[in-house]
Structure 1
Amino acid sequence: MLEVRGVRSSYGAVQAVREVSFELHPGEVLAILGPNGAGKSTLANTIAGLHTLSQGRVRLAGVDLTRARATVVARSGLTLVPQGRRVFGSCTVAEHLQLAGLHARPDALPPDQVLEIFPRLGDRRDVRARRLSGGEQQMLAIARAVLLGPAVLVMDEPTEGLAPSLVTGVGRLIGLLRDKGVATLLMEQPGPFPRAVADKVATMDRGELATPRRAHDSTQEVGPSR
């Protein structure tokens, strides 16, 4: 289980994440929805160890990762699909996938299963990442993260720049991971996709997170309290 308790993160005097708390259980999908600037990416990077929190706790399966380096967090089983892709421009698609396989945790999805969902990556296997389209780079970033075999997958706006058919593929992939007991934390813009794939949904605004609700709860969703 991923436990986030009272997390605050700042950029200088600007507090980007304010007292965020939630739990994410194995096989559960939590979607955090909000516009650009709401604090979603800062929260994702803080949980993944790429940004140091100023207050609070992050624990995964009972292990304290509060101020752990990103490499330690990743080895513990939490993998980030970052906004902006961050693929290695000089490496081919095949090299990205092979590198992920070398560091894969037990019970990771096999490459063939991921390439079945994103067949374009198979077609572009020998192409360097810098020559891929934005959508192809996004698929590669997602595939690379999934092939590591995470216990928790944090996805920061994974459908950005993807055609509708590929968005459907991302949904299928999240479903496969759920069936394997992988928890997914999905940072997204408000819309039908995150509500369709998530078990719980919470809104984020100006760094504050509302209490997560069931994704298909008919009760009107409320935002962060002021």
Structure 2
Amino acid sequence: MKRPYDMARPVPPEALADLATQVAAPRRFGGTSAPDQVAAIRALAWRAWRTEATTEAAHLESVDLMRMGRDAVAAQPDGISIYGPGLDEAVAAGQITREAMLPGRPGYDIMVARYAPMLEATPAYVWTSTPGNSRAEALASGRDWLRLNLAATGLGLSLHPVSQALQEFPAMAEHYAEAQAMLGQGGTVQMLGRLGYGPAVPPTPRWPAATRIRPA
């Protein structure tokens, strides 16, 4: 969930222990609500987010997938949905457009203003790692992450991937190395996410399942 989490409500150790059962060996689960470690990961996640947001090619990959405003989301319910109170009005007023999402433009400033407090309001993190970095391991980690997300939801928690520091392009190399050293447990970090108690939100828009299934 891309919202600030309740910093007055810590994630209990029992919840992290429950989530750990969703990841099977040899893949590994990591999680923490320890303030010092959370602060270090939060700082890394913010630096990596800013690096992606100021690297034009990487940032444009996200901009190209943005669905701006409730009507656009309804017409194409995939990618990055930008709608809701305040955002729909900004889209209608022409403040949020693809062009405006470039650095130095009004939409970009709105994005930064929303992301900074959101990433700051994070009481815990979870991550997964694999012994190596093969395609099979990456796919298995993806399945683990889906199970983690469902389990977190079942516990009343919100999970939001913040994978910028795990991206492999030159401008991110320093953050990638820091993330692997901090969290890799001798392997490769595959996923990283912020965890906490978030506000109630409506379901994320989705295509009807029948439109995503190819007949045999």
TM-score range, shorter chain: under 0.3
TM-score, scaled to structure 1: 0.24
Higher share in helix: 2
Higher share in strand: 1
TM-score, scaled to structure 2: 0.25
Of the two, which has the highest radius of gyration? 2
